Amino acid sequence: MTSIDQIARGGPASTEPRRRVYPQSDLRLDGAGVWLVIPCYRVKAHILQVIEKAPAWVEGIVCVDDACPEGSGDFIEANAKDPRVFVVRLEKNQGVGGATLAGYREAARRGGKILVKVDGDDQMDLGYMGQLVAPILLGEADYAKGNRFTSISHLRAMPTVRVLGNAVLSFAAKVSTGYWNIFDPTNGYTAIESTVAKLVMEKRVSRRFFFETDLLYHLSTLRAVVRDVPMPSRYADEVSNLRIGAVVGPFALKHLRNFIQRVLGQYFVRDFNAASLELVFGMFGILFGLGYAAHYVSSRQPGQVASAGVVMAAALPIILGAQLLLQAVNFDVLNVPSRPIHPYLRTVARLEDQEA
């Protein structure tokens, strides 16, 4: 039997030291209902290696053939010897998001309780899987994800352009999702509790490369708790299907859309609190000050110098408005979800089953 403590301390399933140590627990990874979901698209050269590295305590492995031109599904069925493997085929390519959600659906249908998603290109160290599922099993989180930015040594294998790009995307994701406590949002090494995954599958999550970040946004609307798990980056001879230049513009627009939707939903629809007032009066103050200044400049006589009163009438609302907006940001940072929702969802599901 393999315990969480053994994994967290670099036990039987791993020979590398682990940064985070979880408290003593009687919880066991064996029989915990952990399933592995692997989207497959142009990963024929690496997929069998990924399957072979799956820990013994993983109960099932769902490989999703995302209309792969290399015929990943047939290749896996013909060559994978692991009896835990199940292949799901998608008729049309749906992107990493669509394939992952299809894998979630199949794994949950087969009884999976914690669904771990990894890519099929062997970039992710499956020795860290115990670290990833531990926060969920211990009731500390609903969703856990890898974070390669917790140590400089973890970034040595990552190309410089990716380090800079991920840093920028991380800040944008903090703003748009409201999870100010996490980093590295595009990390595809994740674990999610199955009842939370079922709620996410009902939402319009992006199906392409924006999937991981958009999933965080939808988790924030559910007030799900997200935890980062430190792990190093790994790069070898795999080829990424992501083209940075092609996604910068669309990503920026999607972040802006999610930010606006999150603020409206979180502070004006589902709740109305101090931050709501700070946002309203802060924006009003800045717009009033700028409008007053613009009106004065457009209507003044040539050579006329603004008096101290005119300057203060324009500057003071802008200063106060900026202070109020900073207070709203501070409120938002402190408003990160801290109480996992999956214990409640599981209780509701059990009660519904009893009534049925």
Q: What is the DSSP string of 50-94?
A: HHHTS-TT--EEEEEE-S-TT-HHHHHHHH---TTEEEEE-SS--
pLDDT at res. 155 = 67
In contact, 118 and 238? CB cutoff 8 Å: no
Residues 205, 80 share a domain: yes
pLDDT at res. 244 = 53
Name the burial class of residue 58, with classes exposed (0-12), middle (13-18) and buried (19+) by CB atoms within 10 angstroms of its CB.
Answer: buried
- Residues 115 and 33: their CA atoms lie apart, in Å, by 8
In this prediction, residue 313 has a pLDDT band, given cuts at 50, 70 and 90, of very high
pLDDT at res. 23 = 45
Residues 138, 102 share a domain: yes
Residues 277, 141 share a domain: no
Count the domains in the chain. Answer: 2
pLDDT tens digit string along 88-133? 999 999 999 999 999 999 999 999 999 999 999 888 889 999 999 9
Q: Which residues contact 197 (CB under 8 A, 6 or more apart)?
A: 104, 108, 115
In this prediction, residue 25 has a pLDDT band, given cuts at 50, 70 and 90, of very low
Domain end: 229, 264, 299, which one?
A: 264
Residues 301, 257 share a domain: no
* For range 296-324, the mean pLDDT: 90
> Domain containing 129 — which CATH number?
3.90.550.10
- Residues 264 and 338: their CA atoms lie apart, in Å, by 21
Domain end: 244, 264, 284, which one?
A: 264
Domain end: 264, 298, 329, which one?
A: 264
Residues 53, 17 share a domain: yes
Residues 303, 225 share a domain: no
pLDDT at res. 21 = 45
pLDDT tens digit string along 147-171? 988 777 666 667 677 777 778 888 9
Residues 177, 125 share a domain: yes
In contact, 147 and 235? CB cutoff 8 Å: no
Q: pTM to 2 decimals?
A: 0.84
Helix, strand, coil share of the chain (percent; to 5)? 50, 10, 40
Helix (H, G, I), strand (E, B) or coil at 158: coil
Q: Structural domain of residue 337, as residue ranges?
A: 272-355
- Residues 348 and 356: their CA atoms lie apart, in Å, by 12
pLDDT at res. 304 = 80
Residues 182, 107 share a domain: yes
Residues 277, 258 share a domain: no
Mean pLDDT of the chain: 86
C-alpha distances out from residue 37 to 85, 102, 119, 147, 203, Å: 10, 9, 8, 19, 19
- Percentage of the residues of the chain whose pLDDT score is greater than 90: 66
In this prediction, residue 280 has a pLDDT band, given cuts at 50, 70 and 90, of very high
Residues 143, 213 share a domain: yes
